[in-house]
Structure 1
Amino acid sequence: MGSPARRRFAGAVPAGLVATLLVGLLSGCSDGAAAPAATASASPKPSLPVAPGGTFGYAAARETDPDPLTLNEIFGRSRFKSKGRSYKMTVREMEKKDCKNAVTGEKLQKALKAAGCNQLARASFHDAKGTVIGTVGVANLKTSKGAKSVAGAGAGKERKDYLKPLAGDDDHTKELGDGEAYAGGWTHGHYAILLWFQFKDGHEPKKAELKRLYQAAVDITDATVFPALDTRSVRGGRG
């Protein structure tokens, strides 16, 4: 099981979106009329909500992004394309409370528990020909620090801690877990994105073939997981 290449931290909060959100809040509170003069008996006014700073905004911690994930939110697209490459989702499920059942390896299980995992969503996909198959998992942790610990658990030349592949009932993803794979993890704020990607026939991927597995992982998460987490960075999962 090869160790993963490190992906960029996808989903930084665009400064323009945060600015637009704050401008909208401010403009919605003013109709152009002059503000009334303050008096000693006036009740204090609540301050306007301000989005947290930093790369991940609200999604930096569960405290500012408390709403639970849903499968429709992060894995709502069953078919999609990325630069001409087609993919299909075949199965999905949500592990609640005891996230350890969705992973393999004591170190990763302990990291999930220490990070306060309360959800781990998984979905499996295949490419157009069914040659590349894989499972993507999203773990909901308390903090960004915890997410980094989970994503990095077990990293090394031989990874022994990894996302448990979720086999489907179709002719392609039913082979998940049978063979050698690219396994690893990325982060987005307090979420850890865990990966298992392999070839359907289970052969050990050569260096050039690892790029193909990695590209599939990027294509799929860019079309599903990261847009949803980008929204949480700006809105805190509140629609």
Structure 2
Amino acid sequence: MGFPGEPPRRQPYNQPDASPPTQGEHWFDASSHNRAPEGARAAQGAWPPPSQPQQPPSPPRQQPPQRQERPRQERWSPYDEGPRSRRPIYIAVGALAVLIAGGIGLAMLANSDPPATTGTASPPSADSRAPAPNTPDDKFGFATARKTDPLLLTLNEVFKNKKVKIGGQSYLMTTRRADKKCGDAVVGSKLQKALTGGKCNQLLRASFRDASGKIIGTVGVANLSTSTGAAKVVSAGTGKEREEYIKPLPGKDTVTKFLGTGEAFVGEWRHGHYVVMVWFQYKDGHLPKKTEVKKLNQAAFGAADATVTPALEGRSLTGKRP
């Protein structure tokens, strides 16, 4: 049975500059069968101003030496405007003599000092050449693949607290379970095949109820070998008639024992080599209205963000258990 309206999509753990989410990720589609991301160049050739006071020019000679024509400089100079004077030449010659004399003095002082070490830079030490830690460049960090995140998830890592609260809403966990055979925790042959092909080695589930006891649901996370395998699992759940979804996990209490009956909204998304899956419904299993769909979304995302999301973000940063 279909549902009115299309619930909003969600892209968990996206960075602002991250690429759009993997195509095929679907959010809360209705299940069938009553189930459920060069500043200015330094002026070349510019003569530095002399550091010594200007000396008066020498008396003019009857036959001054002919100046050599210098290349035109593409910069402003006070001597380029109006009639040219010989004073700049004499001042420059005097400054050059001072610099030469100073250079000779420095050379004599240098000869009196011990031999200086060569100016050639020494090669970096072995420690400085050591490569940086092998941190994956993907937006999911170490959680990009099982190769960089090899340890299995644990129930206490993902579903540790019995009562969780996020966004002003509280949720009570009533049961939890870990399956090594991932196919046993889902419904649909395509989804089961995708999990097997992606080398899924565990699927953890936990069921929750909201404070009112009217909304109930199951949150799960599957562990695939690579991000590519995880993307294929998400794609397996596409289609107007949802026949591929996480198997709801009924609790033994008087509320979540109704999980799996009536109409439900299901969805899944990828976080690196993990796939997060959800099934949420009303306790009495009625077909939700548009306003009720928003409440289901809020409950599903709230329960996931309070449990699975922090655990997977920790794996993205370290590739280890906390």
TM-score, length of structure 2 as denominator length: 0.62
2:12 corresponds to: 9
2:131 corresponds to: 47
Residues 1:39 and 1:186: Cα distance change in structure 2 (over 3 Å): closer
| Alpha-carbon distance between aligned partners in 2 of 1:82 and 1:231, rounded to the nearest angstrom | 18
2:318 corresponds to: 235
1:206 corresponds to: 289
Map Cα deviations across residues 12-55 of structure 1 (whole Å, 9 max, x no partner): 599xxxxxxxxxxxxxxxxxxxxxx8799x89985342311121
| Alpha-carbon distance between aligned partners in 1 of 2:7 and 2:158, rounded to the nearest angstrom | 22
User: Superposed, which structure 2 residues align to 1:7-156 within 5 Å?
Assistant: 7-10=10-13, 47-96=131-180, 98-156=181-239
Q: Which has the larger radius of gyration?
A: 2
1:69: how far off?
0.4
Contact (CA 8 Å) 1:4, 1:185: kept in 2 or not? Answer: no
Identity of aligned residues (%): 54
| Alpha-carbon distance between aligned partners in 2 of 1:79 and 1:72, rounded to the nearest angstrom | 13
* SS of structure 2 residue aligned to 1:182: strand
Residues 1:39 and 1:101: Cα distance change in structure 2 (over 3 Å): closer
AA in 2 matched with 1:50? N
AA in 2 matched with 1:222? D
| Alpha-carbon distance between aligned partners in 1 of 2:235 and 2:175, rounded to the nearest angstrom | 26
Map Cα deviations across residues 79-104 of structure 1 (whole Å, 9 max, x no partner): 122222111001001001x2100001
* SS of structure 1 residue aligned to 2:192: helix
Residue 194 (structure 1) aligned with residue 277 (structure 2):
yes
Q: Which runs of 5+ in 1 are unaligned?
A: 15-36
Bigger drift between 122-131 and 155-164 goes to 155-164
1:33 corresponds to: none
| Alpha-carbon distance between aligned partners in 1 of 2:187 and 2:170, rounded to the nearest angstrom | 29
| Alpha-carbon distance between aligned partners in 2 of 1:194 and 1:140, rounded to the nearest angstrom | 11
| Alpha-carbon distance between aligned partners in 1 of 2:312 and 2:305, rounded to the nearest angstrom | 10
Bigger drift between 81-90 and 165-174 goes to 81-90
AA in 2 matched with 1:168? G
Counterpart of 2:246 (choices 163, 166, 171) is 163
* SS of structure 2 residue aligned to 1:167: coil
| Alpha-carbon distance between aligned partners in 1 of 2:261 and 2:308, rounded to the nearest angstrom | 25
Contact (CA 8 Å) 2:157, 2:321: kept in 1 or not? Answer: no
Contact (CA 8 Å) 2:7, 2:294: kept in 1 or not? Answer: no
Q: Which runs of 5+ in 2 are unaligned?
A: 18-121
1:19 corresponds to: none
* SS of structure 2 residue aligned to 1:124: strand
AA in 1 matched with 2:313? D
1:215 corresponds to: 298
TM-score, length of structure 1 as denominator length: 0.82
Residues 1:39 and 1:146: Cα distance change in structure 2 (over 3 Å): closer
| Alpha-carbon distance between aligned partners in 2 of 1:170 and 1:179, rounded to the nearest angstrom | 18
